Structure 1
Amino acid sequence: MKRVDGHIHTPFCPHGSKDSFHEYIEKAISLQYTHLTFTEHAPLPDGFTDTTPDRDSGMAEDEVSAYFEALDELKDEYKHRIKIKSGLEVDYIEGYEKETADFLTRWGHRLDDSILSVHFLFFQNKWDCLDYSPEVFRSMIENYGSANSVYIHYYRTLLKSIEADLGPFKPNRIGHITLVKKFQKLFPASKPFTNEIGQILKAVAARGLELDYNGAGVIKPHCGESYPPKDIIDRAHSLGIKTVYGSDAHSANAIGQGRDVMKS
């Protein structure tokens, strides 16, 4: 039976662990996974300044070739034990669509699979990485006026990412569509944003895209649910949208995280 983890980070992640590729792969094999996609954070687009303190949200572009070469070797080494795909998690940065498309044009021929995610939001001349920390999210609420306003802006930006023209190598899977809920136990919104989610799902379905069914939120102490939760996954399936489990592992031991309480 096919068992997939479609969202895994690597030792190339500047904010993750230095666990080796082999540690990730052997952990996955021990959990009876049959297919893996490594999706390291792609370099942020040219001209964009990372707002995180260490500016470590993505690889440097001069590391990308070595990343793909390492994966090519692993594909061959493990070809009789597990199927490995080369991927990236690409940030959608509003206003940097051309730069992102240019990057994908340079590297898209090396991709077997990829994810498009929103981490950064722009409001009142300020960029924020919304999932970086509770403190950053609190400052966003102060700037935006309410938690609801942050949620609305996130979902609007996510919809723009789905609709954006990023060229022929645009990722086919949309990452953790409810990432804005990472700190929901600290900063709850007052409504479920059913209409906004509905628009997003319709746009995904219309374009034949997939959704990342992400287990990381399950183990985040201030979230406690998958990104997105099961009710949204059910709505996605009713529209014919394919969902792919992703651990979003940043260490080998995180392979499979959340999956025991997720229904896929």
Structure 2
Amino acid sequence: MRDGHIHTPFCPHGTRDSLQRYAEALIEQGFSQATFTEHAPLPQGFADSTPTQDSAMSLSLMEDYLAAIQAVKEEYKNDLVIHIGLEVDYIEGFETETAQFLNKYGPYLDDSILSVHFLKRSGKWYCVDYSADYFEEMITAFGSVSAIYESYFQTVLRSIHADLGSYKPRRIGHITLVRKFHKKFPCPSDFSREIEDILRQIHHKQYELDYNGAGMAKPLCAETYPPASVAMKAKAMGIPLVYGSDAHQAAAIGQGKEKILL
């Protein structure tokens, strides 16, 4: 059993649960492998657009983060295989800055995720999963729920094709994160063709897919990212699926796992 998407006390919007608490929770649930994937520092020149400006770890903490994961990796080596990783944001227009960051820190990473959280509209950036109220503001800015979905899936596709250097993450994160609030703001349009195109490109690039259980814990979502039907299409195409709890606290380790079909 493997959890390939776990956050840490270095996350500014998470909890202060220690790395040891995460490791103990993993062992208790029978996991044999895990990757800590803290939100990588946002690219130089990009300003966090969330109201709390706490989307990612500060660049000043990168050395401490790497040292801390290396230490817990050694501490639990007899019970758990721990990988050092990051969840890297793909932000359109900041490919060069992201590649420069990865060129510096990529050699120290075992396994990472490339995710889309930020979308741009009329010169302003929006974080697609921040809150339901914030998503409602996005609907006004983008003009419709469908327009947000279209922008999100287009950006995910661009992330797959982006040249981020030799240390570009090989796993694409929560490809249906835009559905986090779909029970309150349903989308009238069908984006199955866009999702299938994303899967084809992931397969072509020989990337992995983050099969993320966090949406099961979100009452306005209540499904995995991606939903089981999409995950089964990915599996049929031969795309490796990696379960991720996307835990931001030790108690969330294993969330959604009962709905993961592998």
> What one-letter code is carried by the residue in structure 2 that aligns with 1:224?
A
CA-atom RMSD, angstroms?
Answer: 0.7
Q: SS of 2:112's equivalent?
A: strand
Name the counterpart of 1:63: 61
Say if 2:153 is the partner of 1:151.
Answer: no
Encode CA deviations 1:103-144: one digit per residue, 9 max, x unaligned: 000100000000000000001111000100111111111111
Q: SS of 1:159's equivalent?
A: helix
Q: SS of 2:113's equivalent?
A: strand
Give distance in 1, aligned partners of 2:143 and 2:49. 20
TM-score, with length taken from structure 1: 0.98
Gaps of 5+ in 2: none
> What one-letter code is carried by the residue in structure 2 that aligns with 1:50?
D
Report 1:237-248 matches (<5 A): 237-248=235-246
Task: Report how many residues are paired.
Answer: 262
Q: SS of 1:67's equivalent?
A: helix
Report 1:1-264 matches (<5 A): 3-264=1-262
CA positional deviation for 1:262: 2.2
> What one-letter code is carried by the residue in structure 1 that aligns with 2:74?
D
Contact 2:38–2:86 at 8 Å: present in 1 too? yes
Give distance in 2, aligned partners of 1:10 and 1:207. 29
Contact 2:175–2:226 at 8 Å: present in 1 too? yes
Q: SS of 1:73's equivalent?
A: helix
Encode CA deviations 1:16-63: one digit per residue, 9 max, x unaligned: 000000000001100000000000000000000001122111111110
Q: SS of 1:16's equivalent?
A: coil
Give distance in 1, aligned partners of 2:41 and 2:226. 25
CA positional deviation for 1:191: 2.9
Give distance in 1, aligned partners of 2:23 and 2:118. 30
Contact 2:243–2:260 at 8 Å: present in 1 too? no
Give distance in 1, aligned partners of 2:145 and 2:71. 45
Give distance in 2, aligned partners of 1:208 and 1:260. 27
Encode CA deviations 1:194-214: one digit per residue, 9 max, x unaligned: 110011001100000000000
Encode CA deviations 1:205-227: one digit per residue, 9 max, x unaligned: 00000000000001101000000
Give distance in 2, aligned partners of 1:146 and 1:53. 21
**Identical pairs, percent:** 53
Give distance in 1, aligned partners of 2:212 and 2:118. 18
Encode CA deviations 1:118-172: one digit per residue, 9 max, x unaligned: 0000011110001001111111111111101110110000000000000000000
> What one-letter code is carried by the residue in structure 2 that aligns with 1:199?
D
CA positional deviation for 1:192: 3.1
CA positional deviation for 1:75: 1.4
